């Protein structure tokens, strides 16, 4: 049944707009693909509209934001229908239930990414679960406007008692949204939450940490690095709360040195090492990662395993070239620190730098350091971070492991 055009305003693709990609599942419509006039520009951010092709045939029900370059995000095919006013409690509950079934299949404990935006049918919405607390990032106007309804459905479906809204991050700014975080249900944890992954203990600060407090996406890459690290001295650069270093200690590493610019993050990393009974094998160095890499080289330091997991150096196409130079520099500075026959892990979470470009930059850096390398493994985000098959941006994480 086609939705009644009287329920929702309509927006229309330009004659040269590619309706086929929408019919084939592409979830976004950019502003320059639409016929825009005063009426469409006056639509309230977060409202629902009926998207039509150039011949006025219905394509999809979409959430719109005239203030964003992504003008429309697909919520449902045109034939599916939505309640007047857009997604309601039952609609959110159905989407969260579907996402939950996958995670409960994958994991024994409720610590994972519960909703990964478009790939889980909730465009722009990130939800990470930490036991009985969920942290929501509503990074699109439609979800931000309905955050209370989403929170209630989340509590009903999962049984969590606490729901926190995290308003940090670049994506909300691109949507014209505020940066005000708050408690949506229950209470905020007063202390960091211990999270078990790959035998390691991570301390997640759900209110003051980066993004939602912990990065679940590297879980399988942590596990691979730990396999390489038995009996090894490990250097974990851009370590955040101890990601690779603590996993390697759990896997039998002799020692781990964590380097990060954030003193609070390193304090959480040390607390995780203490909780694991590994404090004697764990050290930290706080400061600019590039400067610390240069200092370690000047000291003649050597490690059997070196992992570098920097923030997104290329968060947009405009930043791509500078980002690739930064990735090359990381590889050039890190490679000399790897002992002969040791391993170098290089990571990128920049969606603008695809795997081929990131790999080429990394190999250039290793070559400029005068090292020979064999690429032994390429890793991606874990299965609780599914990739939308039509959206390359959802496959943002790459991890390359070399033997030098």
β-bridge pairing 233-237 and 303-308:
parallel
CA dist., res. 399 & res. 219, Å (int): 11
Any catalytic annotation for residue 349? yes
Looking at residue 183, the DSSP 8-state letter turns out to be: E
The alpha carbon of 264 is separated from its chain's Cα centroid by a whole number of angstroms, namely: 21
The alpha carbon of 65 is separated from its chain's Cα centroid by a whole number of angstroms, namely: 22
**Contact of 402 with 382, CB cutoff 8 Å:** no
- Which one of 248, 308, 347, 349 is the catalytic residue? 349
CA dist., res. 130 & res. 114, Å (int): 10
In angstroms, the first-to-last Cα distance of the chain is 60
Q: Which two tokens stand for residue 123?
A: 């465009």
Locate tokens 């929501």: which residue? 136
Q: Reduced to 3 DSSP states, what percent helix, strand and coil does the chain have, rounded to the nearest 5?
A: 35, 25, 40
CA dist., res. 80 & res. 48, Å (int): 14
Q: Catalytic positions, please?
A: 349
């Amino acid at each position: 049944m086609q939705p009644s055009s009287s329920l929702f305003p309509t927006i229309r693709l330009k004659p040269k707009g590619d309706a086929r990609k929408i019919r084939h599942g592409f979830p976004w419509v950019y502003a320059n693909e639409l016929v825009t006039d005063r009426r469409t520009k006056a639509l309230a951010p977060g409202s629902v509209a009926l998207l039509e092709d150039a011949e006025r045939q219905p394509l999809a029900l979409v959430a719109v934001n005239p203030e964003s370059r992504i003008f429309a995000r697909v919520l449902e095919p045109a034939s599916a229908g939505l309640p007047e006013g857009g997604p309601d409690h039952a609609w959110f509950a159905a989407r969260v239930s579907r996402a939950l079934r996958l995670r409960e299949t994958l994991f024994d404990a409720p610590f994972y990414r519960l909703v990964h935006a478009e790939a889980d049918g909730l465009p722009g919405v990130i939800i990470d679960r930490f036991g009985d607390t969920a942290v929501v990032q509503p990074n699109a106007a439609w979800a931000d406007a309905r955050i209370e309804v989403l929170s209630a459905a989340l509590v009903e479906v999962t049984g969590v008692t606490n729901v926190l809204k995290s308003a940090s991050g670049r994506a909300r700014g691109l949507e014209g949204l505020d940066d005000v975080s708050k408690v949506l249900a229950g209470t905020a944890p007063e202390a960091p939450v211990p999270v078990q992954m790959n035998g390691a203990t991570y301390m997640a600060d759900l209110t003051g940490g980066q993004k939602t407090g912990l990065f679940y996406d590297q879980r399988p890459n942590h596990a691979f690095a730990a396999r390489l690290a038995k009996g090894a001295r490990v250097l974990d650069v851009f370590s955040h709360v101890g990601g690779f270093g603590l996993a390697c200690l759990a896997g039998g590493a002799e020692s781990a040195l964590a380097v990060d610019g954030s003193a609070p993050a390193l304090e959480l990393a040390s607390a995780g090492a203490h909780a694991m009974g590994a404090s004697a094998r764990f050290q930290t160095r706080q400061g600019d990662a590039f400067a610390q890499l240069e200092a370690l080289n000047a000291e003649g330091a050597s490690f059997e395993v070196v992992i570098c997991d920097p923030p997104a150096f290329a968060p947009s196409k405009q930043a791509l070239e500078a980002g690739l130079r930064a990735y090359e520099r990381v590889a050039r500075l890190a490679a000399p620190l790897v002992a002969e026959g040791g391993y170098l892990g290089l990571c990128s979470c920049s969606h603008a730098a695809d795997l081929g470009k990131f790999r080429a930059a990394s190999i250039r850096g290793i070559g400029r350091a005068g090292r020979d390398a064999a690429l032994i493994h390429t890793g991606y985000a874990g299965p609780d971070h599914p990739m939308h098959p039509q959206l390359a941006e959802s496959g943002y994480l790459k991890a390359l492991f070399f033997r030098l």
